Structure 1
């Protein structure tokens, strides 16, 4: 039996999520290749009969599907290379620390626009605005 923790419920339930991902979505590479093959076959059929509107529509749908899977494949490879670089890459070098600093800057919220339209970059005002926004969105926090 898996240990139950209220600290990291997502980590505790990661195994079922991995199997769901594998079962439902399968291999991105195989789906991208299959979608590309289907698109090429549809294009050949459309070239043989250019007046057929049904084939034209089918080509458009298959092109969008192939494009979607190619983008998903590219994104997967990009994420994997980024993770691999961080794990196996240049630890404790200037380059590594610059990458980490760049990622921290990208993921931070440096300024917000207030309700009156003015811009604030004060960390305390930014945090107050964010807290107020999410309190209004989700309601007040209740203790259990």
Structure 2
């Protein structure tokens, strides 16, 4: 039996459709008469949305057993909003943002910004459904139409209508190919491959890996029992952080002599820390964030604010200044999303 298994493994070819398991280990070790293998085919990722593996101690053996748990009854909740950077390249994007940003909203600077960003999500979703839904399919169809048009033009090189038609198809295919590339790069979070020529299976495998990572399908409660129910997983998180943050303990008072012994800031440095934050400092800090990164939990990437700074910049600066002035921050800005 072992000889049959060894021959099957020897006949395998390593291709780019193999991805890391959730603990980021792909390991193939050949030892004499044994084969140690931990590998997962990306095709299995479609049928098995959640997978968890745990390496157990090997005790006296040189080999460690691996327990794999499969969860095929994953409950999916409402998909949160996520700004896709490819939207910013559409001609209707800036008009969509401006129309929403001109709304009159009452309240503090932080509340006004949060409400405008929330109101903008629906128009952006409509823009996505109309022009970018199933972007890979759209790009493939545009490429086929361009190929057909070029073949017709080769057969009729003097046809002026075909010349203009092919030029339009080429612009459309290039635009959709670029949008698909931006889409895959953002979801795959592959910063070292963002300038690749086209979207390969490698990108799609990275996207599948990220989706499987962004799921919490099982937790062990305080009693040591494991649960896979999404409601129980959510309640365990709430209970854990309530116990962690609501627990009060008596703390020793600060000793001012300790501060006097250490290094102190100068008067000029202290004054510099207390001075108001400048608009240019806020803008510079935002521009240093990578395009695919999100500065807040609302789903908007830094690319959105960079592209629309002429429209949204004043509101963003007012919000940041208000925070430094009041020391208060809304829960819409200061919270984390846990995907269960």
TM-score by length of 2: 0.24
Report the CA distance shift for 1:129/1:23 in structure 2 as closer, same or farther (over 3 A).
Answer: closer
Cα offset, 1:13, TM superposition: 4.0
Answer with 70-79 or 26-35: which moved more. Answer: 26-35
Q: Distance in 2 between matches of 1:18 and 1:27?
A: 15
Cα offset, 1:10, TM superposition: 5.3
**Correspondence for 2:151 among 36, 39, 44:** 44
**Correspondence for 2:164 among 48, 57, 72:** 57
Cα offset, 1:59, TM superposition: 1.0
Q: How does 1:74-93 map to 2 (within 5 A)?
A: 74-82=181-189, 88=213
Cα offset, 1:53, TM superposition: 2.1
Cα offset, 1:30, TM superposition: 1.9
Cα offset, 1:34, TM superposition: 1.6
Q: Distance in 1 between matches of 2:135 and 2:172?
A: 12
Cα offset, 1:128, TM superposition: 3.8
Q: Distance in 1 between matches of 2:118 and 2:137?
A: 30
Q: How does 1:119-138 map to 2 (within 5 A)?
A: 128=278, 130=280
Q: How many pairs were matched up?
A: 100
Q: Distance in 1 between matches of 2:166 and 2:181?
A: 22
Equivalent in the alignment of 1:24: 130
SS at match of 1:8: helix
Q: Distance in 1 between matches of 2:121 and 2:189?
A: 23
Report the CA distance shift for 1:10/1:28 in structure 2 as closer, same or farther (over 3 A).
Answer: farther
Q: Distance in 1 between matches of 2:166 and 2:124?
A: 33
Cα offset, 1:9, TM superposition: 2.1
Q: Distance in 1 between matches of 2:213 and 2:115?
A: 28
SS at match of 2:157: coil
Cα offset, 1:71, TM superposition: 0.7
Equivalent in the alignment of 1:115: none
Cα offset, 1:18, TM superposition: 6.1
- Structure ranking higher in strand proportion: 2
| Higher relative contact order structure (alpha carbons within 8 Å, sequence separation ≥ 6) | 2
User: What's the Cα RMSD here?
Assistant: 4.2
Q: Distance in 2 between matches of 1:46 and 1:9?
A: 52
SS at match of 1:68: helix
| Larger CA Rg, structure 1 vs 2 | 2
Report the CA distance shift for 1:10/1:76 in structure 2 as closer, same or farther (over 3 A).
Answer: farther
Gaps of 5+ in 2: 1-106, 191-206, 215-271, 284-308, 319-340
